Amino acid sequence: MIFALLVGASTFLFALLAGMFIVPALRKHKIGKTISSEGPTSHHIKEGTPTMGGLIIYGTVAIITVLTNIFEIENGSLVFERRSMLLPLFVVLVTMLIGFWDDLGTLTNAESRRALSWRLKFILIGLLSVVVSLVLFYGLEVRSANVPWAGQFDLGPAYIPIAIITVFATTSAVSITDGLDGLLGGTAAIAFTAYAVIGFGQGQEFLATFSFTIVGALLGFLWHNVHPAQVFMGDTGALPLGASLATVALMTGHWLLLPIVGIVFVANASSTLLQIAYFQTTGGRRLFRMTPLHHHFELIGWSEPQVVLRMWLLAFTGAMVGIALALSV
């Protein structure tokens, strides 16, 4: 645990310093975000804020993971011991590339480029979800569900479609939450902290270290992303956050706790789905002022920092409940 915490703290410093170079570089090359006209009008002032800040988060995670969490020193030589960490690292790199591709089409100077269509994005995330589930089942022989107060249950081949849905749904829900300064970075850091504690409690120190690495990178990124944000993470950061969180949860066997640990992600995704369903069934009426849910709270009078901090509090509460339930298995 000491090593995992020190790695997380070191990652924070690395990401903090990396941001001091990357943010000015993004601004210099006019890698600025186009603000959707469908969002709150108060956000239009953010037009042109540098995006693709996910490079700070997951560039740091990739480097630190390779340096600290892939190899071990035995008898004075490096030994490739932590093969299981290749899966979350693979997930991070693939989704970062997908997000980077999508972000290219959302820049203020992207007239000649188009963002990924939602269909193509869903197809790519779906394919990744299939790969992750098959590697977990056949490669790592992870195929169980940990049920609070009931124990561990082997799901057999039924685990594969469950894992596919878990990765796909979590990736989508987490990316929807990215909309306010510091909102996703803070709630995701809390969720990964919860799974780091759960992983360590299971003796999965490699997984706990990976989770704390992401926490440290997120904290370093938040230094530059808290209100008023100097940089946005974009899909370059949001997609890897969701996919890697789902992967970590599946590797612990506590994927059933994701809706609790990630209660803010569930609330934002659910509000969007409910809004669409209500709009279509009532002929155009709306259930919320605007979705995702964090925009609804803005429009009823909460300031952006109020929305973010209150959702952080909700996320922290969900994380505490999730850890408590995990300890009951």
pLDDT digits (tens, 9 = 90+) for 257-289: 999 999 999 999 999 999 999 989 888 889 888
Name which residue leads in pLDDT, 1 or 187: 187
Report the relative pairing of strands 77-80 and 144-147 from DSSP bridges: unpaired
CA 84 – CA 105 distance, rounded (Å): 34
* Encoded amino acid at 157, one letter: P
Q: Look up residue 179 and give its DSSP letter.
A: -
Global pTM value: 0.93
Q: Tell me if 171 sits within 8 A of 91, measured CB to CB.
A: no
Q: How does residue 71 score in pLDDT terms, banded at 50, 70 and 90?
A: confident
CA 140 – CA 252 distance, rounded (Å): 12
Residue 167 has pLDDT above 80, yes or no: yes
SS3 label, residue 148:
coil
Q: For residue 300, give Cα distances in angstroms to 120, 188, 290, 297, 311.
A: 35, 25, 10, 5, 15
* Encoded amino acid at 133, one letter: S
What per-residue confidence (pLDDT) applies to 76? 59
Q: Which residues are bridge partners to 153 per DSSP?
A: 145
Q: Does residue 228 have a cis bond before it (omega within 30 degrees)?
A: yes
Hey, what are 213's tokens? 């690495």
Strands (E), the chain: 71-74, 77-80, 144-147, 151-154
Q: How does residue 103 score in pLDDT terms, banded at 50, 70 and 90?
A: confident
Rg of the chain's alpha carbons, rounded to an integer? 19
195-231 pLDDT, tens digit each: 999 999 999 999 999 999 999 999 999 999 999 989 9
SS3 label, residue 94:
helix
CA 244 – CA 247 distance, rounded (Å): 5
Q: Tell me if 245 sits within 8 A of 62, measured CB to CB.
A: no
H/E stretch holding 104 reads helix 86-104
What per-residue confidence (pLDDT) applies to 199? 95
CA 272 – CA 99 distance, rounded (Å): 21
Instruction: Provide the mean pLDDT of the chain.
Output: 90
User: What count of Cα atoms within 13 Å lies in the side-chain half-sphere of residue 233?
Assistant: 37
CA 238 – CA 300 distance, rounded (Å): 26
Task: Return all residues near 44 (Cβ < 8 A) that are at least 6 apart.
Answer: 35
Residue 329 has pLDDT above 90, yes or no: no
Task: Domain ranges for the chain, please list them.
Answer: 2-327
Per-residue burial over 37-52, b if 16 or more Cβ lie within 10 Å, else e, is eeebeebeeeebbbbb
Strands (E), 227-324: none
